[in-house]
A and B are shown apart, each in its own frame.
Chain A
Amino acid sequence: GESVGLHLPTLSVQEGDNSIINCAYSNSASDYFIWYKQESGKGPQFIIDIRSNMDKRQGQRVTVLLNKTVKHLSLQIAATQPGDSAVYFCAEKGWGSQGNLIFGKGTKLSVKP
């Protein structure tokens, strides 16, 4: 039978450019947010996290921005490389939750060499 799945937003960038992946989260009471990278056939790989008492956090080549006013999260990848090609998910955890992560739909990042 026909399979129905989510149509993933796709971001295509040139190698060396910066990438910005956006995510709208659902729960204003969420207090913890994570970005994951998922390559084909693999599990979600942790990239960076941020707590709700912060609005920016930087890692190696990655920056996460949190705007609680509009419930928006973004992931910035500097100097994007072909190895960054993957599906990127944001995930939120509600305040008081023991760890139930609510995942977003994902964005497929394609890096052109």
Chain B
Amino acid sequence: EPEVTQTPSHQVTQMGQEVILRCVPISNHLYFYWYRQILGQKVEFLVSFYNNEISEKSEIFDDQFSVERPDGSNFTLKIRSTKLEDSAMYFCASSGGQRNQPQHFGDGTRLSIL
């Protein structure tokens, strides 16, 4: 069964550094998403992406964050000037081309900011 894959599984970065989290969505999906989950808390929406542009974003997704689809298969989340509070699990998800289809999640990248 096709799945969303994320790399790396764990990223350790010094505070203030930039980090890029990578995702390969399911191949025929058209909508892509990033979520984060701080340890022990709810999964929170960050951003959705469709047709090579951001379609929706949350208050969390400020100028520190950016997303890109650099080629036909990858979807990335860049976090500039990382802060301690950016430490979390970051999940990528994708869904098909029609409204109200389930989002399928990867297993996440654990980001640890030191």
A residues touching B (Cβ–Cβ < 8 Å)? 3-6, 31-32, 34, 36, 41-46, 49, 51, 89, 91, 93, 97-106
Contacts and interface: CB of A to CB of B under 8 A. Distances in A.
B75 interface: no
A5 B31 CA distance: 30
Given A100-B48, A103-B43, A104-B42, A49 B105 contact: no
A99 B48 contact: yes
Residues of B contacting A: mostly: strand
Interface residues on B, range: 20 to 34
Interface of B: 4, 31, 33, 35, 39-45, 48, 50, 55-56, 58, 91, 93, 95, 100, 102-108
A43 B42 contact: no
B106 A43 contact: yes
Contacts, number: 68
Nearest to A46: B102
B102 A99 contact: no
Contact of B41 (A5, A41, A44, A97): A5
